Chains A and B, each alone.
Chain A
Amino acid sequence: MTEIPLGPAVETEPFHDDDLYHPRSWLTKYVFSQDAKVIAIQYSATALFLGFVALALSWLMRLQLGFPDLVTFIDADAYYQLITMHGMMMVVYVLTALFLGGFGNYLIPLMVGARDMVFPYANMLSFWLYLVAVVLLLSTFFLPGGPTGAGWTLYPPQAILSGTPGQEWGIILMLLSLIVFVIGFTMGGLNYVVTVLQGRTEGMTLMRMPLTVWGIFTASVMALLAFPALFVGAVMMLFDKLLGTSFFMPALIEMGEHLKYGGGSPVLFQHLFWFFGHPEVYIVALPAFGIVSDLISTHARRNIFGYRMMVWAIIAIGALSFVVWAHHMYVSGMNPYFGFFFATTTLIIAIPTAIKVYNWILTLWRGDIHLTTPMLFSLGFIITFVNGGLTGLFLGNVVVDVPLSDTMFVVAHFHMVMGVAPILVIFGAIYHWYPKVTGRMLHEGLGKLHFWITFLGAYAIFFPMHYLGLIGVPRRYHEMGDATFFPESAQSLNAAITVMALVVGAFQFVFLFNLIWSLRRGEPAGGNPWRATSLEWQTPETPPPHGNWGRTVPVVYRWAYDYNVPGAAEDFIPQNQPPAAAGGMA
C-alpha cells in the first residue's frame, strides 16, 4: 500500500494544554472522567446493559403473547409493567443515550478535529445524572408495587390512578427519572452543540463536516428544544400525583368516591408528550441517517451522492418534525381540522426523508461495494427504514390511522422504523468504529452471522405483526381471550413470532461475546483499517490518547468524501491531506 502523506506533522510527545482537563488519578481518569471518549464508553456500556434488560423484558412479553399459559407470574398487571419499561427504556434510555451520549461523545471531537468537548465538567455531570436516572428507573423493580404499568406514553389520568400497576412508587420514580434524564441530557447536549459550533479545527467548515456530525448535531439541537416539553409534562404530572393539583386530572369517581381532582386536561398531557415524542423519533433517526451515510460512502468507496442535499434534508427533517406531533393523537378527540393539518405536514416530511433514501441508493450505484459487516447493517437499515416509513404513510393519514390505531399494525410500524432500523445502524456503527475505540477488529464471521440472524429474524418478527394488526389484533392486551373476530391462525402466528423473538434475542449475546472476546483476541486493526477519509481515522495513535491529536491538531483541506478521486494515488484522500500530496483532480 502506498504511504499517504498527511497534512501538518503530528508529533506524539505529551502536550501541555492548560485549557484541557488532565486527569491526576485512576479515579478521575476512568470513573469521574472528563474525557469525552471515556464518557462515551460509559454512556454506551450503560445503555447497552439497559438494552439487554429491555430485551429480557421483551422476551417475557412475547412468551406471554405466544404461549399465554406458560409463564404463570405474568398477569395483566405484570404485562403492562413489562411493556411500559421496555418501551421507555428503549426509546429514551437506550437509543437516545447511545446515539447522542455514546456516539456523540466519541465522534464529535474526533471528527471535527477538537481535543475534547468544550465543557468537559458538564459533560461528566451529564453521564452521572444519566446513571442516576437509570438507577431510579431500575429501582422501581424492587419497590412495593413494582414499576409503573401506565404504558410508555404515561397517559393520565390512568397513569396515576390506583387501578394501574406501580401506582405507589413506580410512576413517581419514573417521572423523577425522566426529569433527571432531561437535566443530564441538557448538560451533554450543550456540549455537543457548542463543540460543533466552536471546537472545529482550522479548515473544518460546516460543509466539510461528515454527515455523522451533522446528524448528531441537528438531533442534539432538536433534543434541547423538545425535551423541555417532556420535562414540563413530567413535573406537572408529579405535582398532580404528589401535591393534588389538577393540571391533567379531570373530575373522577373511584370506588364510589369523588377524587380530589377536577377540571384537568388529559389531552394537554398528550400535546406535551408528543411535542417531545415525535421529535424524539428523529432525535434517534437523524444520527442514524448521518452514520449510515458515512458507512455507505466508506464501504462503497464512493463520495456521498448529493452531500448538500443530505445536509439540507437533515435540517428540514429536524425543523418539520416539530409540526407533526398531533398525528399521534388522531383518536384523542381533537378538532378534525387539526388532523388534516398534521396529516399534511406528516406527508411533507416524507419528501426530505425520501431524498436521503434516493441519495443512499445513488451512492451505492456503481460503487465498489465491500460487503463488510458495517455495510451489511447499513443495507439492512435502508431496506428496513423504507419498509417502516411506508407504513408510516398509512398511519399518517387520519382515515387509515383511525381503524388501525391501537392495533399490532402500529406496534409493527414503529418497531420497524424506530426500533429495528436505528438498532441496525448502531450495530453497523459499532462494527465500524470498534477498531478505533479498541485498536482491534471485531470478528467478521461472527459479525455476519449476527447480521443475518438479526436482519432476517427482525423481519420474521415484525412483518407478520402487520398482518395481525390488519385483522384487528389489539396492542396492550396481555391475552386475546375468547375473541372470535380473528382466526385461530392469529395465535399460531403469535407463537411463531415469539419463537423468532427468542432466537433473535439469543443471538444478541453472540454480539456481546464478540465485543468482549475481540478486546484481547481480535485482529489488530491499525490506525485506519477501512481506509476512511474522516479525521477520527487520522489520529497519531489508535486508540486515540487523551487530547486526541498529540502536540498539534490537524488542519482540514477538503470534505470527508474524497473516495476514488480520478488521478489520486489511493482510492481515498484523508481530510487533513494537503492538495500537493494528494494528486488527482480534487
Chain B
Amino acid sequence: MTVVLAFLIVVAGIAGVWLARHGIMEKPWLHVSPASPTPGHGRARPAGSPGRIGLRVFLTVVGALFAVLLSANLMRMEATDWRVLPNLPLVWVATAFLALSSATLHGAVLSARRRDPDGFAHAIAAATVTAAAFLVTQVLTWRQLASAGVGLSGNPAASFFYLLTGLHGLHIVGGLAALGRCWARWARTRRPEAVREGIELCAVYWHVLLAIWLILAAVLTGWAGAFAATCLSLVR
C-alpha cells in the first residue's frame, strides 16, 4: 500500500498548509467581530468558485482511486504467476493522442481568454477528436493484446492492464461528456468567454488524467520497473 500512503502523505501536507493558512490556530472564544458589515476574524473562504474547488476535490478522489489500484498492482506483482506483457507500441501512440488532446484543450483555454472564437472552435474540436482517438487507440491496444493470446484472465499483469486502462478510459468518457456540455453552450452562445470557466475546468481535468496516464503507462509496460531496477543497480 506504499503508493496510496505516499499519495495520502502529499494530500495531508497540502491540507495541513491550507488549514494553517485559514486560521486553524485561532482562539475563537477571544474574537468577536465588530458589528456589521465587517466580516469575521480570519480568512473566511478559499479563493475560487465552487466548481474549481469541487474539481480539485474530485481529482483528489480520482488520484486516490488510481493510487489504490497501483498499490494493488505492485502487491500482486510479487506473485510467481506474474508475466511481463508483450511490447505494446500502441500505448505510446495513445499517450501521444492524449498529450495532444491536453495541449489543444489548453489552447482552447488561451483562445477563450483572448476571446478568439475561431481559435477556440478549432482548439476544442481538435481536443475532442484527439481524445476520441485516444479511446480508439486504447481499444485497438486491447485487441492487439487479445489477438496475441493475452486475455483478461490468465496473466494477472494483463488483468491489471485491462482494468486500469479501462477505468482511465471511463474517466476520459466522463470528461468528454463535460466537454460536450461546453460544446452545447458554445453552440448556443458562440462566445468563448461564456464557456471559459467550463473549458478551464475540462483542461485541468485533462492535464491530471494525462499525468495519471503517464504513470499508468510507465508501470503497466514495465518501463517504470526497468527504470527502478537500473537506478538500484547504479546505487549498488
Contact = CB atoms under 8 A, between A and B. Distances in A.
15 contacts: A202-B37, A203-B39, A205-B22, A229-B4, A236-B72, A245-B159, A263-B79, A271-B1, A558-B31, A559-B28, A559-B29, A561-B29, A579-B34, A586-B29, A586-B32
Interface string A225-238: 10011011001100
B156 A225 contact: no
Contacts of B23: 205-207
B64 interface: yes
A400 interface: no
6 closest cross-chain pairs (CB), A and B: A203-B40, A263-B81, A559-B28, A244-B153, A228-B65, A118-B50
A228 B68 contact: yes
Contacts of A189: 61
Contact of B28 (A198, A207, A555): A207
B156 A263 contact: yes
Contact of A118 (B37, B54, B159): B54
Interface stretch (A97-105, A307-315, A509-517, A542-550): A307-315
B33 interface: yes
Contacts of A205: 22-23, 26, 28, 40-44
B43 to A, nearest CB: 7
A578 B35 contact: yes
Contact of B57 (A7, A202, A224, A229): A224
Interface string A55-80: 00000000000000000000000000
Interface string A534-576: 0000000000000000000001111101000000000000000
Nearest to A556: B40
A319 B43 contact: no
Interface residues of A, number: 64
A263 B152 contact: no
A189 B80 CA distance: 40
B29 A307 contact: yes
A98 B136 CA distance: 42
Contact of A263 (B8, B31, B48, B80): B80
Interface in B67-101: 68-69, 72, 75-76, 79-82
Given A271-B1, A275-B68, A322-B8, 7 more contacts: A202-B40, A206-B22, A206-B24, A206-B42, A224-B64, A272-B68, A308-B25
Contacts of B229: none
B19 interface: yes
A519 to B, nearest CB: 34
Contacts of B29: 303, 307, 559, 561, 586
B32 A225 contact: no
Contact of A225 (B34, B42, B43, B61): B61
Interface in A234-251: 235-236, 239, 243-247
Interface in B139-166: 152-153, 156, 159, 163
Nearest to B50: A118
B61 A224 contact: yes
A190 B57 contact: yes
Contact of A323 (B5, B33, B53, B156): B5
A394 interface: no
Contacts of A312: 24
Interface string A178-216: 000000001001100110011110111111100000000
A443 B213 CA distance: 58
B149 to A, nearest CB: 15
A231 B65 contact: yes
Given A202-B39, A315-B19, A275 B1 contact: yes
Contacts of A271: 1, 75
Given A8-B36, A228-B61, A244-B152, A262 B54 contact: no
A268 interface: yes
Interface string B116-132: 00000000000000000
B45 interface: yes
A208 B35 contact: no
A353 interface: no
A272 B75 CA distance: 11
Nearest to A202: B39
A571 B182 CA distance: 54
Contact-residue bracket for chain B: 35 or more
A579 B35 contact: yes
Contacts of B79: 263-265
A260 interface: yes
B72 A268 contact: yes
A186 B65 CA distance: 12
Nearest to B12: A319
Interface of A: 7-8, 118-119, 186, 189-190, 193-194, 197-200, 202-208, 221, 224-225, 228-229, 231-232, 235-236, 239, 243-247, 260, 262-265, 268, 271-272, 275, 303, 307-308, 311-312, 315, 319, 322-323, 555-559, 561, 578-580, 582, 586
B27 interface: yes
B45 A580 contact: no
B101 to A, nearest CB: 24
B102 to A, nearest CB: 23
Given A206-B19, A275-B4, A194 B152 contact: no
A207 B50 contact: no
B44 A202 contact: yes
B177 interface: no
Contact of A557 (B35, B50, B76, B153): B35
B34 A199 contact: no
B54 A246 contact: no
Nearest to B152: A243
B35 A580 contact: yes
Contact of A265 (B26, B45, B75): B75
A207 B33 contact: no
Contacts of B1: 271, 275
Contacts of B53: 194, 197-198
A208 B40 contact: yes
A239 B152 contact: yes
Nearest to B43: A205
B163 A203 contact: no
A97 to B, nearest CB: 18
B153 A260 contact: yes
B45 to A, nearest CB: 6
Contacts of B167: 235
Contacts of A208: 28, 40
B184 interface: no
A311 B23 CA distance: 12
B72 A243 contact: no
A118 B32 CA distance: 28
Contacts of A260: 153
